[in-house]
Chains A and B, each alone.
Chain A
Amino acid sequence: DQQVKQNSPSLSVQEGRISILNCDYTNSMFDYFLWYKKYPAEGPTFLISISSIKDKNEDGRFTVFLNKSAKHLSLHIVPSQPGDSAVYFCAASVGTSGTYKYIFGTGTRLKVLA
């Protein structure tokens, strides 16, 4: 049973436009969320995160929004660039003292068209 779901396996966007990647989760205990980016033949790399006490976190062209009532988060990339073409994984974690782990979604492949 997938606790973190990325329902869109792929997305294509024109260069310069906004890319919006979505993620839904089922466990209301999750209190920390992350996005990772993965290029072919490489491991995933950390992109941006957000704590459940916030509803928005911004880092340059990347913004993550969290809607706790809907159990939904999204990643906005503005403006999109061809180098952003990659697979994006959403992840969630719940922290109990001394231990934590991430639950990842299945990923969304973003293609930014020049």
Chain B
Amino acid sequence: DAGVIQSPRHEVTEMGQEVTLRCKPISGHDYLFWYRQTMMRGLELLIYFNNNVPIDDSGMPEDRFSAKMPNASFSTLKIQPSEPRDSAVYFCASSSLGGGARGTQYFGPGTRLTVL
């Protein structure tokens, strides 16, 4: 299996622009998570889906952030408009409760976002 795939790996954009991050989870996994990593706050959970349905979006920082999962093999995280404080590494992870051990989460390589 290719693991969790994220694109792009790096994104540099200017303040005010729209940014879309993409994720393909591991086939057969029914949970998908979006995280943001910063030095100050570590790994923060933004939102997670179960069977393509958003379950908990309490970590989404504000209305500028939105996430969708139109099907079991694709999810997007959109920031519009982007701001410099959104600069961080964004990770996508997937898991399956059927995998045991409370469903180990498998992370993608991340997207490093820089907003100038």
State the CA gap A105–B105 with chains docked (Å): 16
CB distance from B38 to the nearest CB of A (A): 9
- Asked if A105 meets B109 with Cβ closer than 8 Å, knowing A43-B93, A93-B102, A100-B103, the reply is no
- Residues 72-113 of chain A, each 1 if its beta carbon lies under 8 Å from chain B, else 0: 000000000000000001010101001111111111000000
Q: Do A43 and B108 touch across chains, with their CB atoms under 8 A apart?
A: yes
B48's contact among A89, A95, A101, by CB below 8 Å, is which?
A: A101
Q: Do A106 and B105 touch across chains, with their CB atoms under 8 A apart?
A: no
Q: Do A106 and B91 touch across chains, with their CB atoms under 8 A apart?
A: no
Complex interface residues of chain B between 68 and 114 (CB less than 8 A to chain A): 91, 93, 97, 101-110
Inside 8 A of B50's CB, which chain A residues have their CB? Answer: 98-99
CB distance from B42 to the nearest CB of A (A): 3
| Chain-B contact segment, one of A14-22, A44-52, A61-69 | A44-52
Inside 8 A of B44's CB, which chain A residues have their CB? Answer: 104
State the CA gap A105–B50 with chains docked (Å): 23
Interface centre among A95, A99, A105 (most CB of B within 10 A): A99
CB distance from B25 to the nearest CB of A (A): 12
Q: Does A114 contact B (CB under 8 A)?
A: no
Closest B-chain residue to A51, C-beta based?
B102
Q: Do A99 and B55 touch across chains, with their CB atoms under 8 A apart?
A: yes
Closest B-chain residue to A90, C-beta based?
B42
State the CA gap A104–B97 with chains docked (Å): 19
Complex interface residues of chain B between 23 and 63 (CB less than 8 A to chain A): 33, 35, 39-45, 48, 50, 55-56
Inside 8 A of A91's CB, which chain B residues have their CB? Answer: 43
B positions within 8 Å CB-CB of A:
4, 33, 35, 39-45, 48, 50, 55-56, 91, 93, 97, 101-110
